[in-house]
């Protein structure tokens, strides 16, 4: 099976794509896998590290009101479609899979124009604009949340789950915590603001820092590249507590997740899929700056399942962070209940389901 994958902008679109690419490589080492991304997106750094061929197009998103920016976006989209069609003719994929982000738009659209079967993978409970647009042209829609099916009327959907969930289960091994400056013996709280970081979470952590020292648990804080220097300076001023480690980014997040006990994070779909697969109790602060407030809807679904504590940005601070961490870690019954509830709602065979869907499209196309 030869596959073309496209998704970008944030890790939430990139990591599911890479997880599926790795799955294909394990099944078919001889397969051609080409990733089409944006030249200035995170994928430009992350994808080559995976040893995958990266092709790029130049694309941007629409603003919600008429503007000169939108005119430029239309022009870029047309050019990107032409470039994507050239990539498809060159690489001859059997199937094209879009995992979201603006860059997936011209690629999946080009696949439809070239007569190549395509799949849109929607990670969130509320689809983004790109995937809504692409649903008119894609052959199938793969979902991570069943609730998203109502946004694709008349389209054939399939609940596959998120490929990243399948992958984190295979990442258990020696603890990476010593390499990050922490003890493998202590209970660990991972705080992460997403691939680009999140200022409100940074502020809560820095507020809580003076009270972290001396706790019988430790904190691993991933700031995001743009916030690292600022947060690191605050940690230095707080005396750099021995039980707190600060890093700008982690490339081995699945391995780290397998060795932590609680996660405090945004509520991106890929993050939630990973937490559910591992049964990790979560403290969630959804980003309000996303389309249709989909992160809060993602988070509330996990909260209703009893696997997460959810706070809006304006409610979250250092005091609440510490209270919630202590509540979960110091009451074994609460930790165990949240752990089991997360496992109960997890979909952990996403790669297998997505591969089954892609194979069916390939077989049908060759009849």
Report the alpha-carbon angle 106-108-110, nearest 5.
65
CATH number at residue 262: 3.40.50.2000
pLDDT in tens, 166-196: 888 887 788 999 999 999 999 999 999 866 6
Q: Judge whether residue 64 has pLDDT over 60.
A: no
pLDDT in tens, 98-154: 999 999 999 999 999 999 999 999 998 889 888 999 999 999 999 998 889 999 998
The reported pLDDT for the residue numbered 365 is 79
Give me the sign of the Cα torsion angle 303, 306, 307, 311: positive
Find out whether 202 is annotated in a ligand binding site.
no
Residues 19 and 43 in one domain: yes
Find out whether 295 is annotated in a ligand binding site.
yes
The reported pLDDT for the residue numbered 245 is 95
Residues with Cβ within 8 Å of residue 140, at least 6 apart in sequence: 118, 119, 120, 155, 156, 157, 158, 357, 361
The reported pLDDT for the residue numbered 50 is 92
Find out whether 154 is annotated in a ligand binding site.
no
- Mean of per-residue pLDDT scores for the chain: 91
Give 200's pLDDT tier (boundaries 50, 70, 90). Answer: confident
pLDDT in tens, 283-309: 999 999 887 888 999 999 899 999 999
Give 364's pLDDT tier (boundaries 50, 70, 90). Answer: confident
**Percent of all residues in the chain with a pLDDT value above 70, rounded to a whole number:** 95
The reported pLDDT for the residue numbered 195 is 61
Residues 22 and 144 in one domain: yes
**Can you give the residue range of the structural domain that contains 16?**
3-168+348-365
The reported pLDDT for the residue numbered 166 is 81
Find out whether 11 is annotated in a ligand binding site.
yes
Q: In total, how many domains does the chain have? A: 2
Residues 224 and 285 in one domain: yes
Q: Which of these ranges, 55-59, 236-240, 306-310, 352-356, has the smallest mean pLDDT?
A: 236-240
The reported pLDDT for the residue numbered 182 is 96
What is the spatial distance between Cα 156 and Cα 178, in angstroms, rounded to a whole number? 47
Residues 223 and 355 in one domain: no
pLDDT in tens, 324-339: 999 999 999 999 999 9
Residues 200 and 135 in one domain: no
Report the alpha-carbon angle 310-316-320, nearest 5.
85
Find out whether 90 is annotated in a ligand binding site.
no
**Other C-beta atoms lying within 10 Å of the C-beta of residue 39:** 14
The reported pLDDT for the residue numbered 325 is 97
The residue length of the chain stands at 367
The reported pLDDT for the residue numbered 199 is 82
Residues 153 and 212 in one domain: no
| Residue of 225, 208, 215 whose CA lies nearest to 182 | 215
Judge whether 6 and 97 are in contact, CB under 8 Å: yes
Residues 11 and 153 in one domain: yes
Residues 89 and 183 in one domain: no
Find out whether 128 is annotated in a ligand binding site.
no
Residues 295 and 330 in one domain: yes
Residues 188 and 126 in one domain: no
Residues 228 and 139 in one domain: no
Does pTM top 0.85 for this prediction?
A: no
Q: Judge whether residue 69 has pLDDT over 80.
A: no
The reported pLDDT for the residue numbered 67 is 57
Residues 151 and 282 in one domain: no
């Amino acid at each position: 099976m030869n596959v073309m994958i496209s998704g970008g902008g944030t890790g939430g679109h990139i990591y599911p794509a890479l997880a599926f690419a790795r799955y294909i490589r394990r099944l078919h080492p001889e397969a051609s896998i080409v990733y089409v991304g944006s030249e200035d997106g995170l994928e430009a750094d992350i994808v080559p590290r995976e040893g995958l061929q990266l092709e790029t197009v130049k694309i941007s998103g629409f603003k919600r009101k008429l503007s000169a920016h939108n005119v430029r976006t239309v022009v870029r989209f047309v050019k990107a479609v032409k470039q994507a069609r050239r990539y498809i003719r060159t690489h001859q994929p059997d199937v094209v899979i879009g995992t979201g982000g603006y860059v997936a738009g011209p690629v999946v659209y080009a696949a439809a124009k070239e007569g190549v079967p395509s799949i849109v993978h929607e990670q969130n409970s509320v689809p983004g604009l790109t995937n809504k647009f692409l649903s008119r042209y894609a052959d199938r829609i793969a979902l991570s949340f069943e609730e998203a099916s109502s946004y694709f009327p008349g389209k054939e959907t399939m609940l596959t789950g998120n490929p990243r969930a399948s992958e984190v289960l295979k990442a258990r091994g020696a603890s990476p915590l010593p390499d990050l400056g922490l003890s493998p013996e202590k209970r660990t709280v991972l705080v992460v603001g997403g691939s680009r970081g999140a200022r409100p979470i940074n502020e809560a952590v820095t507020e809580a820092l003076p009270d972290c020292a001396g706790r019988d648990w430790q904190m691993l804080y991933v700031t995001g590249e743009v916030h690292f220097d600022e947060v690191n300076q605050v940690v230095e001023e707080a005396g750099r507590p021995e039980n707190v480690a600060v890093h700008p980014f982690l490339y081995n997040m699945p391995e780290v997740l397998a060795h932590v006990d609680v996660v405090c994070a945004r509520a991106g779909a890929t993050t939630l899929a990973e937490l559910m697969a591992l049964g990790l109790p979560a403290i969630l602060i959804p980003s309000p700056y996303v389309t249709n407030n989909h992160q809060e809807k993602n988070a509330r679904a996990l909260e209703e399942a009893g696997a997460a504590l959810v706070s809006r940005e304006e409610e979250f601070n250092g005091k609440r962070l510490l209270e919630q961490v202590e509540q979960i870690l110091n009451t074994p019954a609460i930790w165990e209940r949240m752990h089991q509830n997360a496992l109960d709602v997890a979909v952990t065979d996403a790669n297998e389901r997505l591969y089954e869907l892609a194979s069916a499209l390939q077989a049908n196309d060759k009849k």
